[in-house]
């Protein structure tokens, strides 16, 4: 569990600079819809989540939380959320334990809670109104499921999540993470960004703004063409491992880099994952082909390859670096959390009438979040 972030500092910063949760709390109290509603939420348990959780418990919701990964769980945030009235389960069986509370609304990150719910309840239960999913990885997995006995709102493809959080929030967080952890400039050096969805595109944009020579590795020809017209050279994962000094993964796929590919990595390569899964860069495979591993800090581990003696520096144990290090402006994350919460409020009334399966995020909710955000920005 990571104890690095001070919850009171983040709360004070949010209240001072972007008080969207104050606006949202008044809105939820007025609507009263979440009062005594049981909410199961699978998410990163960070100080920013604590700000959102407080807004929910203050609005009368019964909140049950499970952790995405211990790598992003902050001890002080967990403590604060418990003090604010949330029930928090930790560890690999935490989603199962949240479901034992029989939540009426499920809010998910990576489709973990929803999938566990669907596995135990094949039909839509009258006490569960609906779910929402915030990640691209979760939406891909949802689309591969045969039967979905529950409406699941796709938050990832909303404008706020995809264009503000995924693009600007993550890109900004990547650049800050590099400055914080590597404490060196990558100006004029070559970085390969693997995956050109909104996350990869934002990472590429922010790296280029800091003077890095960015190449894109993308398997989808449409996205690769888009990267070309956005002005990037096209590369490959293989080439990024042997020729660049920075490799950023943003595909949402697990086990992207095989042992065979890791063996040929160039000396002093820095690898940063931004994708949802800690397993995306496959550091287990890197470990297997290394003769030595040294943890320079919690944020960076250096592996010495057995074959060549080359050193590879991997960030945050493979967990998405901006989330694990809480880097970047907090505004995009507060915005997506506010969207998640307004969706919970919406599902209480609308969930029972929605058809099962993937549902788009109603634009009226994005308008409402944006109105609250614009008011918060004017303070």
Binding residues vs ligand NAD (CB under 6 A):
135-137, 166, 170, 194-200, 217-220, 223, 237, 250-253, 256, 274-276, 320, 322-323
Residue 138: CB minimum distance to ligand NAD, A = 7
* C-beta closer to ligand NAD: residue 98 or 250: 250
Per DSSP, 72 falls in state G
Q: How far apart are CA 330 and CA 87, in angstroms?
A: 24
Q: C-beta of 17: minimal distance to ligand NAD in Å?
A: 20
- Cα separation, 212 vs 158, in Å, equals 29
In the bound complex, what is the minimum distance in angstroms from residue 96's beta carbon to ligand NAD? 22
DSSP 44-58: ---HHHHHHHHHHHH
Q: How many angstroms separate the Cα of 142 from the Cα of each of 105, 226, 278, 362? A: 17, 26, 19, 18
Nearer to ligand NAD, 151 or 169 (CB): 169
- Pick the closer one to ligand NAD by CB: 220 or 294: 220
**Residue whose beta carbon is closest to ligand NAD:** 197
Is residue 156 a contact partner of residue 138, using CB atoms and an 8 Å limit? yes
Q: How far is the CB of 139 from ligand NAD (least distance, A)?
A: 8
CA–CA gap between residue 14 and residue 16 (Å, rounded): 5
Residue 329 Cβ vs ligand NAD, minimum distance, rounded to whole Å: 12
Nearer to ligand NAD, 154 or 166 (CB): 166
- Beta carbon nearer to ligand NAD, 320 or 351: 320
346 vs 333: CA distance, rounded Å: 20
How far is the C-alpha of 67 from the C-alpha of 96, rounded, in Å?
A: 11
d(C-alpha 323, C-alpha 356), whole Å: 31
Give the residue with the Cβ less far from ligand NAD, 136 or 351.
136
Rounded Cα distance between 371 and 342, Å, is 12
Is the C-alpha dihedral spanning 262, 265, 269, 275 positive or negative? negative
Decide whether 186 or 315 has the Cβ nearer to ligand NAD.
315
Token representation of residue 182 = 């590597």
- Rounded least distance, CB 41 to ligand NAD, Å: 16
Q: Which is nearer to ligand NAD, 250 or 285 (CB)?
A: 250
Find tokens 């909410």 and name the residue: 39
Nearest approach in angstroms of CB 313 to ligand NAD is: 19
- Give least dist CB 252 to ligand NAD, A: 3
Q: How many residues are present in the chain?
A: 379
Q: Are 223 and 193 in contact (CB under 8 A)?
A: no
């Amino acid at each position: 569990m990571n104890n690095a972030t001070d919850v009171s500092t983040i709360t004070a910063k949010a209240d001072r600079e972007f008080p969207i949760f104050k606006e949202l709390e008044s809105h939820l109290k007025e609507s009263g819809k979440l009062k005594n509603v049981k909410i199961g939420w699978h998410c990163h348990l960070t100080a920013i989540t604590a700000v959102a959780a407080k807004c929910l418990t203050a609005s009368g919701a019964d909140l049950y939380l499970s952790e995405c990964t211990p790598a992003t769980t902050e001890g002080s945030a967990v403590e604060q959320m418990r003090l604010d009235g949330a029930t928090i389960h930790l560890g690999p069986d935490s989603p199962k334990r949240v479901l034992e509370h029989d939540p009426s609304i499920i809010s998910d990150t990576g489709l973990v809670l929803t999938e566990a719910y669907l596995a135990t309840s094949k039909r839509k239960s009258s006490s569960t109104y609906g779910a929402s999913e915030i990640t691209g990885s979760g939406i891909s997995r949802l689309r591969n499921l045969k039967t979905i006995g529950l409406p699941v709102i796709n938050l990832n493809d909303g404008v706020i999540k995809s264009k503000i959080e995924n693009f600007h929030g993550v890109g900004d967080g990547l650049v800050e993470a590099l400055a914080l952890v590597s404490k060196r400039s990558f100006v004029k050096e070559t970085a390969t960004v693997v995956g050109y969805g909104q996350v990869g595109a934002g990472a590429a944009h922010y790296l280029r703004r800091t003077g890095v020579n960015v190449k894109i590795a993308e398997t989808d020809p449409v996205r690769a063409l888009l990267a070309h017209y956005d002005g990037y050279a096209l590369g490959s994962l293989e080439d990024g491992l042997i020729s660049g000094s920075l490799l950023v993964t943003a595909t949402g796929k697990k086990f992207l880099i095989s042992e065979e590919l890791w063996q040929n990595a160039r000396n002093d390569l820095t690898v940063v994952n931004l994708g949802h899964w800690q397993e995306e860069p496959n550091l287990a495979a890197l470990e297997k082909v290394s003769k030595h591993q040294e943890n320079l800090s919690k944020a960076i581990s250096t592996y010495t390859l057995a074959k060549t003696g080359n050193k590879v520096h991997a960030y945050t144990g493979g967990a998405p670096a901006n989330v694990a290090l809480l880097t970047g402006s907090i505004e995009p994350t507060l915005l997506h959390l506010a969207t998640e919460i307004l969706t919970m409020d919406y599902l209480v009334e609308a969930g029972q009438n929605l058809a099962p399966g993937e549902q788009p995020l109603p634009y009226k909710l994005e308008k409402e979040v944006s109105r609250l955000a614009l008011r918060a920005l004017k303070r």
